[in-house]
Amino acid sequence: MNDEKGDMGRKEVNRMGLKERAVETYLRETAEQRERDRKAAEEYAAEASKEFKQAFGEEPDKINPITQWSCEIHCDGLVFEARRQAYGSEFYVKLSCSNCGELVPIHVLSLSTLGYWLSQKPLCKKCSKIINAEKTTEEQIIEKLKEILNLIKEGE
C-alpha cells in the first residue's frame, strides 16, 4: 500500500513537470509567433512605403506597421491606411466627415483620386444616411451617376 502512495506521489510530480513544460512551450511559441508577426508587419510596411511613393509621388513622413496585411502611413498632414491585396496595396485616406468630424476611410487609387476627395466634403455612413433620407430618389440617382462619371474620367 505504501508503494501505491509512492507511485501516486511520483505521478503527481510528473504531471506538474508536464504542466510546467506545456506552459513554458506555449509561452515560448507565442513569443516566437509575436516576433514573426512583428517582422512580417515591418516588411509589409516597407513594401507599402515603396508602393505609396509610386502611386502618389511622395515619400511617406512616417509609417506605423500594424499587421502583415496593413499599416498606417502619414504624409503631408494626411493619414492613410495601406491594405495588402493579392495585386499590391490599396490606400485609404482618412478624412474627417464634414458633418460630424468622424474619420472616414476613402479608397484612393491615384493622385487625381486623392485630389478629388480632398476637394469634396466627405460624409461618414451615419451622416450620409441621414442626409440621403432627406433627398428624393431622383436626386440620389443623379449624385451616384455623377460620382461614377468622375471615376470614369479619372481612369482615362
Cα dihedral value 109, 113, 118, 121, nearest 10: -100
Residue 156 is predicted with a pLDDT of 67
Residue 139 is predicted with a pLDDT of 76
Residue 43 is predicted with a pLDDT of 96
Residue 5 is predicted with a pLDDT of 54
Residue 14 is predicted with a pLDDT of 53
Assign 72 to helix, strand or coil: strand
Q: For cell 515619400, what's the residue?
A: 59
Cα 117 to Cα 29, 50, 97, 100: the distances in Å are 45, 22, 12, 17
Domain residues for 127? 2-155
Residue 133 is predicted with a pLDDT of 66
Mean pLDDT per block of 10 residues along the chain (156 residues) reads 51 69 94 96 96 95 95 96 94 93 93 93 86 72 85 76
Residue 113 parent element (H or E):
helix 111-118
Task: Measure CA 41 to chain center.
Answer: 11
Residue 58 is predicted with a pLDDT of 93
C-alpha–C-alpha distance, residues 49 and 47, integer Å: 5
Q: For cell 513554458, what's the residue?
A: 24
| Beta partners for residue 103, in sequence order | 96
Q: How many domains does the chain have?
A: 1
C-alpha–C-alpha distance, residues 68 and 123, integer Å: 29
Residue 115 is predicted with a pLDDT of 93
